Structure 1
Amino acid sequence: MGAQDPEQIDGLAWVRERGLGALADRMGIEFTEFSARRAVGRMPVEGNTQPVGLLHGGAYVVLGESLGSMAANLHAGPGRLAVGVDINATHTASARTGFVEGVCTAIHLGRSITVHEIVVSDESGRRCSTVRITNMIKELP
């Protein structure tokens, strides 16, 4: 896994240094807790809606992928890169206002594959979407 154990790294400092990327920034995503095993982030509904005022289904997926891919990259360690190879989402409710929060939990942290589940809930705690992402870890050239 590289020179430093990912469990010993200050995850939020690592994220601040690396950045979340232009799309996550544009959507207003921010992380509030971060490690390879568990990551938590939030995103505003406003600005990320469908024409009918519901949070866009793709926005749930962007939040989930941001959390899961970043957690996989922390797990990968220096000199390695995690890239998404599969993502799926099941939407069970719709947020209209406020923020949604994603809680990302590692299901599998292997040497070459990671799997994370992200539960996205509205401000009342109602589950709106469940996202699962699989990342492949590879050596940087």
Structure 2
Amino acid sequence: MSRHSLGFGGPPPHPEATPPQAERPTVAHDPAYLSLRHAHRRFGVKATATAVGGFLLYVLLSSFTPGLMNRSLSGHLTLGLALGLGQFVLMAVIVWRYLVHLRTRVTPVVRGLRGLARHHEATGGGRGPAHPEPPAAPYDRGYRSW
């Protein structure tokens, strides 16, 4: 059931209002976009494998080697507790590497693609963005996460 038949949204677009898909240039076929997707997917697979592998190792050690996990390291601190707390450290390192990955590999490519799309829009080559960006607030200039 479509959104239109349920009464959501506006009327369906007029068939002549949109050019055929083959004529409309898309960012999805740009080599920079394809390399961005590849790099982002590769990082996601590595980060997920690291997180799941670390957790699985901890669970398997806890299940099959209780004597090792109950070994005291210092006072009441056991190896199992230290490895359990190490899960938080592992997640923090993965999040930190993700932010570095975004800052160094993703953001420059996204800025270039955004500039290319704006240039294409300014020259009248396309229909324009489906959701135009609101104008930046004066305090929003130069914002960087972390």
TM-score by length of 2: 0.28
TM-score by length of 1: 0.29
User: Whose helix fraction is larger, Structure 1's or Structure 2's?
Assistant: 2
- Larger C-alpha radius of gyration, 1 or 2? 2
